[in-house]
Amino acid sequence: MKYKNTVEKWGMFEAACEGKTEGNPFRDFTISGSFRGEKEKVEAEGFYDGDGVYKVRFMPSFEGKYSFCIRGTFSDEIYEGSFLVTAPSKENHGPIRTANTYHFAYEDGTPYYPVGTTCYVWELQKDEKVIQTLESLKEAGFNKIRFCILPKHYDYNLGEPRSYPYEGTPMDSSILTEENFREYTGKTEGNCWDFERFCPEHFQNIENCILELQKLGVEADLIVMHPYDRWGFSRMTREQDDLYWNYVISRFSAFRNVWWSLANEYDLLDCKTQEDWEHYGNLLCQKDACGHLRSIHNCRPFYDYSRPWITHCSIQRQDLYKTAEMVQEWRIRYRKPVVLDEIAYEGNLPLGWGNITGEEMVRRFWEAFLRGGYAGHGETYWNPQGVLWWSHGGRLLGESWKRVRFLHKIMCETPGIGLKFKEMERDDICAVPEDFTLAQKTGYHLFYYSFMQPCFEKFYFDEDTEYQVEVIDTWNMVIENAGKFKGKFTIKLPGRQYMAIRIRKASQVV
Amino acid sequence: MKYKNTVEKWGMFEAACEGKTEGNPFRDFTISGSFRGEKEKVEAEGFYDGDGVYKVRFMPSFEGKYSFCIRGTFSDEIYEGSFLVTAPSKENHGPIRTANTYHFAYEDGTPYYPVGTTCYVWELQKDEKVIQTLESLKEAGFNKIRFCILPKHYDYNLGEPRSYPYEGTPMDSSILTEENFREYTGKTEGNCWDFERFCPEHFQNIENCILELQKLGVEADLIVMHPYDRWGFSRMTREQDDLYWNYVISRFSAFRNVWWSLANEYDLLDCKTQEDWEHYGNLLCQKDACGHLRSIHNCRPFYDYSRPWITHCSIQRQDLYKTAEMVQEWRIRYRKPVVLDEIAYEGNLPLGWGNITGEEMVRRFWEAFLRGGYAGHGETYWNPQGVLWWSHGGRLLGESWKRVRFLHKIMCETPGIGLKFKEMERDDICAVPEDFTLAQKTGYHLFYYSFMQPCFEKFYFDEDTEYQVEVIDTWNMVIENAGKFKGKFTIKLPGRQYMAIRIRKASQVV
């Protein structure tokens, strides 16, 4: 058996054993481990990784000495040993957890403000494109990316993926055109898959990508199921699905930067019922020892985000016009963090979800943040190569990503963790810190003027406190110090859209 | 008695008699007339116009000989005579009526597409400004203007009007500032008015303005009551209000271009009850022989527009974001024309209702039109002179008015009268003629892309019909002929916001 003697806290311990290869090792044998440290004891199931190798993984949450005991049904041997968990490295803050009901923090307490993007199958592109996507993510500073474990069949997604999750052969995709591709679905004949034999290379590639993301500080929001399918992966039996879910959980759950998205547009998966989703949610709760964040994404009707296994809302907008503005309502309804994982994409496609301007994308990010929630980015600019960030990754062509990076800096300067909307006498869009005591102490107010273009604004908080005022041009990414003010005061604005004003007690600004 | 022997159809016949001046002629005496032509018989109440002159007015709806009989309680004399009603002059199409449930037409059947603006007290400014406003209206091509009969007290409206509706003296307005003016309301002491003695000059000026508007083809949407008051005009007794309503109806209802708006923001008039509004509506139905359009405008809750005396919805938006997009719902709810008489103003005030961009204003106009309704314009650009189009008229400073004029041309090219929204397979914003037969015959489809920026769109109606396609840049006001197409076809777009595509059967385009 192979393993390393030391692993950092929230790093991944992995043990690899040689075992039997006869029959179907994916189905016929199991491996599991028991990990014991001073402060935790964790049971984990492992998986068959091909070539006679079985693996079991574990993410330790505490420093110090751990012992393990591993057994496989392919052998009578019991593997025992120990390893040392060292302090986390500087950039390792642990997995993301929900904090104060509506917001997120890393397990070490560092606030985490999601500024995510979507590239559905970036990891199934060729190496060159995968590397380009990682470079783009680094430059943009996104800290979450949503992507699918299974390949995607859709507009602009007719090509073959670099690998398949199962052994077998796909239908002949050379007959597909942008005109006819909708006729080919998961029901299409011509596919020949063994849904009980995984291709470990497919999953190994995804793991490499998850690790690369981890190095960049990017959370991997894994979409486990989705309906854009011509291969039949969305129409397997319950037994086949369970095999898939168990394989996915045992492979991925020990990576600290994983989130679970049970499905993209769950309501379009016409072979799955609510009972199925509850079952998968239950599987995750039982088998993901790391307790990663869990949600499920809608096309039209929301899943019931108040279900106890769901950690946060993962929302696709239900209205063409009102999107991020609904965050307050959704917070009240679900009392969980609200992440808008699809609010249309910056781009120019002939599709209502894929052709908003960069300005509108950024406006939605700010609206969501002011209301105590989080928007997600995506890009769909048409190009002759058919490489769209939204699905393939590659290079960012739009204008919003820079402004999202700018917003993230503002987010990180929030006192405590996160903002909430504050009703004002006027119709102002105003947010204050979620934590009441910190709000009082700092006097922090963030006003956002969205598509409105006032040429000045008047303020009054109290007679005596001195406030530091900044005028923020959210599009041109400029923060201007407007000075210190007391009592009633007026702040000039340029009479353009997308301006914000940040006000803090002068005594609290370092 | 003075009167003219001829009057054109939908013109105004007026008879003026000398009468008693003792006591209070406004309250103590009445005058009324009976008008009989071959096709109609109308009773009308008149009014005292000062200087011992009593008048009664009548708008004939048919050509030919009319006789009249006029009596006043100030005399035993009965005035009888006759006059000839001639054909209407070229620009005279009669008063506006509702047509086909959701749209408007002049009484002669010519479709009327409202593109209105709001200048609350333009007619109470000095002559020079009034003339400037008329020039601006002419240039902009607005065909409706909302304004108040009574003076206005509000932000940027602290000055004295050119005249008052009643004899008396106002409170000292020199003490008003933008900081304190809200403390002064209709309850304020210092006003001294005789609510039973009108100033005829005040109303004569308004009549001159209504006539000037008529020459320009502009409908005068008269706001009879409003809450922005420091004089007490919004807090009179029922008897005083009735005297006012009767005076207003008898003076203004024979002008063909009058519409009645019972109130602006009726729900802010804290002395008036629903019973009051129903009573005024009933008064109008009884006493306005011309049957002008009647509605009432809200601040927050809508009045119940399904009330039978209301001819159309006069709506102020209830949501900061979704405004014109709601027209479909309101059409279904009320089954009457939907006029959005306030959807925020183009401008830069520090007030959510007064600082949208020209682009957003125009977008709301198009959204309303595509959904089978009509938006209204207004401007609130701050300037050191404090002259804001929204209240004072003057010159237009914004960018939306030109695009509204452009839209009006498109509106006038609609087959039949008006559009309605058409659900498409995609999320398209598409409208077709309200009249199903005309929609079939012409193949007219208007697509609008709002804030979206597709770089092309695909269409398919049928295999055989040839369609003429135009690409419309609603902001740059350009209509480009894209050519003729059959079957499946693709139309290129520039990938900018605010584009539209108009499609008609080629055989129907002259």
Contact A325 B321 (CB under 8 A): yes
% chain B with pLDDT above 70: 100
Contact A320 B427 (CB under 8 A): yes
Q: Is B308 on the interface with A (CB under 8 A)?
A: no
Q: Which amino acid would we find at residue B68?
A: F
Q: What is the pLDDT of residue B382?
A: 97
Q: Which pLDDT tens digit goes with each residue over B100-126? A: 999 999 999 999 999 999 999 999 999
A4 to chain B, closest Cα gap in Å: 53
Picking from B360, B453, B455, the nearest residue to A451 by CB comes out as B360
Would the pLDDT of A427 be above 90?
A: no
Long-range CB contact pairs, B160-164, < 8 A, 24+ = B161/B121, B161/B124, B162/B124, B162/B125, B162/B126, B162/B205, B163/B124, B163/B199, B163/B201, B163/B202, B163/B205, B164/B193, B164/B199, B164/B202, B164/B231
Chain A residues with CB under 8 Å of B357 CB are: 451, 453, 497
Chain A residues with CB under 8 Å of B382 CB are: 455-456
- Average pLDDT (A446-451) is 98
- Nearest chain A residue (CA) to B352: A427
- Average pLDDT (A112-141) is 98
Q: How far apart are CA B347 and CA B343, in angstroms?
A: 12
- Nearest chain A residue (CA) to B349: A454
Picking from A319, A350, A455, the nearest residue to B348 by CB comes out as A455
Q: What is the pLDDT of residue A251?
A: 98
For B366, the enclosing helix (H) or strand (E) is helix B358-370
Contact B320 A426 (CB under 8 A): no
Chain B residues with CB under 8 Å of A325 CB are: 320-321
Strand-strand pairing, A41-45 and A31-36: antiparallel
Please provide residue A436's backbone torsions phi and psi, each rounded to the nearest 5 degrees: -60, -45
Q: Name which of A306, A399, A297, A291 is nearest A342 in CA terms.
A: A297
Q: How many CA atoms lie within 13 A of B227 on its CB side?
A: 13
% chain A with pLDDT above 70: 100
Chain B residues with CB under 8 Å of A300 CB are: none
Contact A348 B497 (CB under 8 A): no
Q: How far apart are CA A185 and CA A470, in angstroms?
A: 54
Residue to mutate among B299, B317, B321, B367, with most A CBs inside 10 A, is B321
Chain A residues with CB under 8 Å of B350 CB are: 454-458
Q: What is the mean pLDDT of chain B?
A: 97
B486 to chain A, closest Cα gap in Å: 17
Q: Name which of B363, B324, B359 is nearest B341 in CA terms.
A: B324
- Average pLDDT (B207-230) is 98
Please provide residue A445's backbone torsions phi and psi, each rounded to the nearest 5 degrees: -135, 130
For A361, the enclosing helix (H) or strand (E) is helix A358-370
Strand-strand pairing, A111-112 and A103-106: antiparallel
Q: Is B299 on the interface with A (CB under 8 A)?
A: no
A451 to chain B, closest Cα gap in Å: 7
Q: Where is average pLDDT lowest: A67-71, A110-114, A427-431?
A: A427-431
Chain A residues with CB under 8 Å of B353 CB are: 427
Long-range CB contact pairs, A276-280, < 8 A, 24+ = A276/A238, A276/A241, A277/A303, A278/A307, A278/A309, A279/A238, A280/A224, A280/A225, A280/A241, A280/A245
Q: Is B351 on the interface with A (CB under 8 A)?
A: yes
Would the pLDDT of B510 be above 80?
A: no
Q: Which pLDDT tens digit goes with each residue over B442-466? A: 999 999 999 999 999 999 999 999 9
Chain A residues with CB under 8 Å of B320 CB are: 325, 427
Would the pLDDT of A389 be above 80?
A: yes
Q: How far apart are the first and last CA of chain B?
A: 54
Q: Is B34 on the interface with A (CB under 8 A)?
A: no
A449 to chain B, closest Cα gap in Å: 9
Q: What is the pLDDT of residue A25?
A: 97
Q: Name which of A147, A360, A160, A97 is nearest A261 in CA terms.
A: A147
Contact A352 B457 (CB under 8 A): no
- Nearest chain A residue (CA) to B448: A352
Q: Which residues 73-102 in chain B show a CB within 8 A of chain A? A: none
Q: What is the pLDDT of residue A172?
A: 95
Q: Which pLDDT tens digit goes with each residue over B238-277? A: 999 999 999 999 999 999 999 999 999 999 999 999 999 9
- Average pLDDT (A162-174) is 97
Would the pLDDT of B50 be above 90?
A: yes
Chain A residues with CB under 8 Å of B348 CB are: 453-455, 495
Contact A353 B456 (CB under 8 A): no
Contact B452 A356 (CB under 8 A): yes
- Average pLDDT (B338-353) is 96
Q: Which residue has the tokens 């000989």?
A: B65
Contact A350 B458 (CB under 8 A): yes
Strand-strand pairing, B144-148 and B116-118: parallel
Q: What is the pLDDT of residue A425?
A: 85
Q: What is the pLDDT of residue B66?
A: 98
Q: Which residues 400-459 in chain A show a CB within 8 A of chain B? A: 426-428, 449, 451-458
Q: Name which of B248, B237, B238 is nearest B287 in CA terms.
A: B248
Q: Is B355 on the interface with A (CB under 8 A)?
A: yes
Picking from B360, B457, B497, the nearest residue to A350 by CB comes out as B457
Rounded to whole angstroms, what are the CA distances from A115 to A136, A322, A469, B256, B500? 14, 20, 25, 59, 33
> pLDDT band for position A138 (50/70/90)?
very high
- Nearest chain A residue (CA) to B318: A427
Q: Is A355 on the interface with B (CB under 8 A)?
A: yes
Q: Is A399 on the interface with B (CB under 8 A)?
A: no
Would the pLDDT of A142 be above 90?
A: yes
> pLDDT band for position A510 (50/70/90)?
confident
Contact B351 A426 (CB under 8 A): yes
Picking from B348, B455, B456, the nearest residue to A495 by CB comes out as B348
Contact B454 A355 (CB under 8 A): yes
> pLDDT band for position A509 (50/70/90)?
confident
Chain A residues with CB under 8 Å of B428 CB are: 352
B457 to chain A, closest Cα gap in Å: 5
Contact A454 B351 (CB under 8 A): yes
